[in-house]
A and B are shown apart, each in its own frame.
Chain A
């Protein structure tokens, strides 16, 4: 009986997901694809043709843009993953790690655009670091003409992505590790004479990776299609593909919408191909790795690598903290010119003048964030519970559907989706924005929740069932309390994702729904770092509070239950 209920429940959620999330995206893609093949009657383009593609391949800098995209996307994701795993390995036994997780929150919470602006100010030739050292140490009375940001190779963009993605990976890894008997593996490995680093690579890594594979794909997809961070930190002539597509979509010459749509489709292909390539590399590495593990080398010499990774991650964190501090200082500055280490005059004007603006923006940001997160959390729990009750295996095809919004670049379907929403008559309101946010929040919540949920020891449920608890009671009295920590983490991640959404808010809200992020990005085109600082501080503060709650509430509720605080075997 419950098995059927479970199947029904999951079918219901699947229906909601398909109708509410997947269908709109496909419809959006369809509209984009029609324009990509020359059909957009609104600008007088009719019929089917390959001209948009020809024009796209002919646009100056197209090839360089594509190469840059692939290079920055793969390099940043691979480096971020390596650094995060090594850092977790190096720091695992130290007492500070769990407390340290609390420090990750601000990085996760700060939207990419704000962090990028802070980071750009930090590392620019006229930036804070140069100001602290000039002119007494460097002799630079004027900033040197060095390409430390917007460099043609995209190194500054990779650095920015690392600052943002390493903490995300760390949080995901920490959540996954709490489901593995790490301490026992470490002890057993050491007893057999393996070095600490090698136990991580040979024993824990292979178990860990499947748990974090999807987040890795999501980060890769994001890095291949990032827009806001690439505008601030990346090269501009030509920029990465996603920035070029956005520019073409918004060019004064409206016929560019056609090649822009073609490029948007291509952007999806780049992401799909990128993930395919990564998957193939994974397979190859696993095959080689197995041979290597069987040879049984004890490899104590891996230690220096861990130390270097630890130093690199610490350096990245320092840059992130510096970027956030720079923005906070700017928000209370009046004039701060090169080469002064601190502002020469201070003022609260930036906070006061824009108070009416940010007050309203905070209100709508919180409302949209809470509504979207609640919706996504309910859907996710219903989905997973349906699976449990139906004794269903993980359906890979269904999961792929859920992750579709994260894997298809936003720019590829948002324009089309806006047209679809307008046709149905629901464009331009807060409801449409919440819906569009849910597209992106739900997958993140699923990612954060599904692995801990599935890794839950079934013995608890069996014990509860043996004691006579029905399925509802098992859910509310056993599963949800045990899973409170991952639930709260998922909610916090969902909230942060909602706060950071830029393009969906812009397209679906018809510009009328002003959130902190849309205001911050618009104001950053005006380049008053003081006002940008105000918005960035607020943008970081909201999700930060959510993360604090995610860490604090379970810690408080479970303060007498050591076994529920995770991982401590």
Chain B
């Protein structure tokens, strides 16, 4: 079903501009080409960005040039190279799809432009209260240096034709793996999906999960991870290839599920499996679910490097991505299937109707099946987990 897109867009545009400042930004943005550095491994995202470029061109005279990355850190390395070369203006990166450790490292090293979020008119649809998911990135306050654009949440997918009743906790997963050796694995821990799986297990298994919200100390880390490593020691021999090698990323894992090499895939996007079914990349019997105790969730952001050549254009793009009509389109399973970052309480009736009218898919988990969302641990936990894992299990 198509959205009443123009109607909703018109509503969004009719809202009074917050300040004259924004009109100046829009005027300055006209004619700019925004080099948006974003992971290019997902074709639906690529198509969505191409669509956004067309819309922006028509409405604001802004064009997006999608610089496809195989890893977000490529863009970070690029900005660091430019800083190393003394290039403080006219940089090659205008906008980055970013979050977590990459954001922290750019923010800490003063590589970001901002704060700019409060200047975006559509930021009024966000829950900007302190500690809300839209203003915290892996426990780090974003302080307006990045703008949200899509919601991510950890889910597992399984082929219901092979596994009728999947294990819904990490303890149950261990039992299942012992009964079905070689049929489960996770992406390499150097990949963020692999480390997210470890974090999910850590939250479930840690004696006191609340310590994860603060920066990790040596003491806290060894106390919190002890049950995790005991669990992993038991799990690893039962993993695919006895846990001696791991798929490079979540897409490779998804392909392995499709090939029947393993029975589970995982994603940071509840709609990933449904989208893959739609594109013929997974069998129609695949279903997604979250662990019953809840799953890690976070929001993906866009940020502007300090030396971006087209900052105004980049802000117009960031604002466009927050438009309720655009968010509803992104949530459409036949388009992108990524959940909205907006606060439903702040939407008007027309915008709500657009979300209600979205089509469903059997591979798409319902909100109930997704369960509660668990906050990301402080980034130091992820870094330490990855390091400690590598130290323990690299031969």
Binding site for B on A (CB under 8 A): 31, 40-44, 59-61, 64, 124-126, 142-143, 145, 147, 150-152, 231, 235-238, 247, 249-254, 257, 334-335, 337-339, 345, 347, 353-354, 415, 418-420, 422-423, 427-428, 506, 510-512, 514, 518-519, 521-523, 525-529, 531
| A253 in contact with B101 (CB, 8 Å) | yes
Nearest-CB residue, chain B, relative to A506: B74
| B87 in contact with A422 (CB, 8 Å) | yes
| A247 in contact with B190 (CB, 8 Å) | yes
| A522 in contact with B73 (CB, 8 Å) | no
| A253 in contact with B383 (CB, 8 Å) | yes
Q: Does B297 contact A (CB under 8 A)?
A: no
Residues of B within 8 A of A422 (CB): 81-82, 85, 87
Kindly state the separation between the CA atoms of A526 and B46 in the bound complex, as whole angstroms: 11
Binding site for A on B (CB under 8 A): 35, 37, 40-43, 47, 65, 67-78, 80-87, 92-93, 100-102, 105, 109, 162, 181-182, 188, 190, 192, 240-241, 244-249, 251-252, 254-256, 258-261, 279-281, 283, 383, 387, 390-391, 393-395
Query: In the complex, given contacts A152-B244, A237-B244, A419-B85, what are 6 additional A-B residue pairs having Cβ atoms less than 8 angstroms apart?
Result: A43-B109, A250-B77, A415-B77, A418-B81, A525-B71, A528-B251
In the A-B complex, the 8 residue pairs with the smallest Cβ-Cβ separation, listed nearest first, are A526-B41, A422-B85, A145-B182, A252-B101, A126-B259, A61-B394, A527-B251, A510-B92
Kindly state the separation between the CA atoms of A527 and B252 in the bound complex, as whole angstroms: 6
Nearest-CB residue, chain B, relative to A62: B394
- Contact (A337, B258) CB under 8 Å given A147-B245, A150-B245, A510-B78: yes
CB of A538 to closest CB in B, whole Å: 16
| A143 in contact with B261 (CB, 8 Å) | yes
**Can you list 18 residue pairs at the A/B interface with Cβ under 8 Å?**
A60-B391, A64-B395, A126-B259, A126-B260, A237-B246, A238-B395, A250-B73, A250-B74, A252-B102, A254-B76, A418-B81, A423-B86, A427-B82, A510-B92, A522-B70, A523-B40, A526-B41, A527-B41
CB-contact partner of B73 in A143, A252, A347, under 8 A? A252
Kindly state the separation between the CA atoms of A511 and B280 in the bound complex, as whole angstroms: 29
| A512 in contact with B84 (CB, 8 Å) | no
Kindly state the separation between the CA atoms of A506 and B37 in the bound complex, as whole angstroms: 13
Nearest-CB residue, chain B, relative to A417: B81
Residues of B within 8 A of A512 (CB): 35, 65, 67, 92
| B188 in contact with A145 (CB, 8 Å) | no
| A511 in contact with B260 (CB, 8 Å) | no
CB-contact partner of B41 in A251, A420, A523, under 8 A? A523
Residues of B within 8 A of A125 (CB): 261
Kindly state the separation between the CA atoms of A347 and B281 in the bound complex, as whole angstroms: 13
Kindly state the separation between the CA atoms of A529 and B279 in the bound complex, as whole angstroms: 12
Interface of A is mostly: loop
| B280 in contact with A345 (CB, 8 Å) | yes
Kindly state the separation between the CA atoms of A52 and B4 in the bound complex, as whole angstroms: 57
Kindly state the separation between the CA atoms of A250 and B249 in the bound complex, as whole angstroms: 15
Kindly state the separation between the CA atoms of A353 and B82 in the bound complex, as whole angstroms: 35
Residues of A within 8 A of B393 (CB): 237
CB of A338 to closest CB in B, whole Å: 4
Nearest-CB residue, chain A, relative to B254: A527
Nearest-CB residue, chain A, relative to B182: A145
| B82 in contact with A514 (CB, 8 Å) | no
| B68 in contact with A511 (CB, 8 Å) | yes
| A61 in contact with B74 (CB, 8 Å) | no
CB of A272 to closest CB in B, whole Å: 25
Residues of A within 8 A of B383 (CB): 253
Nearest-CB residue, chain A, relative to B84: A42
CB-contact partner of B43 in A142, A235, A353, under 8 A? A353
Nearest-CB residue, chain B, relative to A511: B67
Nearest-CB residue, chain A, relative to B258: A337
Kindly state the separation between the CA atoms of A527 and B105 in the bound complex, as whole angstroms: 28
Kindly state the separation between the CA atoms of A506 and B74 in the bound complex, as whole angstroms: 9
The listed residue with most B CB atoms (<10 A of its CB), out of A64, A126, A512, A525, is A525
CB of B313 to closest CB in A, whole Å: 15
Residues of B within 8 A of A339 (CB): 260
Residues of A within 8 A of B390 (CB): 59-61
Residues of A within 8 A of B41 (CB): 522-523, 525-527
CB of A354 to closest CB in B, whole Å: 8
CB of B233 to closest CB in A, whole Å: 16
Nearest-CB residue, chain B, relative to A513: B67
CB-contact partner of B77 in A249, A528, A529, under 8 A? A249
Residues of B within 8 A of A252 (CB): 72-73, 76, 100-102, 105, 192
Residues of B within 8 A of A145 (CB): 181-182, 240-241, 261
- Contact (A522, B261) CB under 8 Å given A60-B394, A152-B245, A237-B245: no
| B241 in contact with A147 (CB, 8 Å) | yes
| A521 in contact with B70 (CB, 8 Å) | yes
| B92 in contact with A526 (CB, 8 Å) | no
CB-contact partner of B68 in A249, A420, A519, under 8 A? A519
Residues of B within 8 A of A428 (CB): 92
CB-contact partner of B74 in A59, A420, A423, A511, under 8 A? A511
| A423 in contact with B240 (CB, 8 Å) | no
The listed residue with most B CB atoms (<10 A of its CB), out of A31, A420, A511, is A511
Residues of A within 8 A of B75 (CB): 511
| B259 in contact with A337 (CB, 8 Å) | yes
- Contact (A514, B85) CB under 8 Å given A251-B73, A338-B260, A526-B40: no
Residues of A within 8 A of B72 (CB): 252
| A257 in contact with B67 (CB, 8 Å) | no
CB-contact partner of B395 in A41, A61, A511, under 8 A? A61
CB of B316 to closest CB in A, whole Å: 20
Residues of A within 8 A of B101 (CB): 252-253
CB of B75 to closest CB in A, whole Å: 8
Nearest-CB residue, chain A, relative to B83: A42
CB of A258 to closest CB in B, whole Å: 12
CB of A78 to closest CB in B, whole Å: 25
Residues of B within 8 A of A42 (CB): 80-81, 83-84, 109
Kindly state the separation between the CA atoms of A277 and B254 in the bound complex, as whole angstroms: 43
Kindly state the separation between the CA atoms of A510 and B93 in the bound complex, as whole angstroms: 8
CB of B236 to closest CB in A, whole Å: 11
| B245 in contact with A337 (CB, 8 Å) | no
CB-contact partner of B109 in A44, A64, A334, A525, under 8 A? A44
| A337 in contact with B260 (CB, 8 Å) | yes
CB of B65 to closest CB in A, whole Å: 7
Kindly state the separation between the CA atoms of A211 and B260 in the bound complex, as whole angstroms: 49
Residues of A within 8 A of B259 (CB): 124, 126, 143, 337-338
- Contact (A528, B35) CB under 8 Å given A61-B394, A150-B245, A422-B85: no
- Contact (A143, B100) CB under 8 Å given A235-B245, A250-B71, A526-B40: no
Residues of A within 8 A of B256 (CB): 126
CB of B285 to closest CB in A, whole Å: 11
| A41 in contact with B84 (CB, 8 Å) | yes
Kindly state the separation between the CA atoms of A114 and B181 in the bound complex, as whole angstroms: 32
CB-contact partner of A126 in B188, B246, B261, under 8 A? B261
| A528 in contact with B281 (CB, 8 Å) | yes
| B240 in contact with A40 (CB, 8 Å) | no
CB of B324 to closest CB in A, whole Å: 28
| A528 in contact with B43 (CB, 8 Å) | yes
Nearest-CB residue, chain B, relative to A142: B260
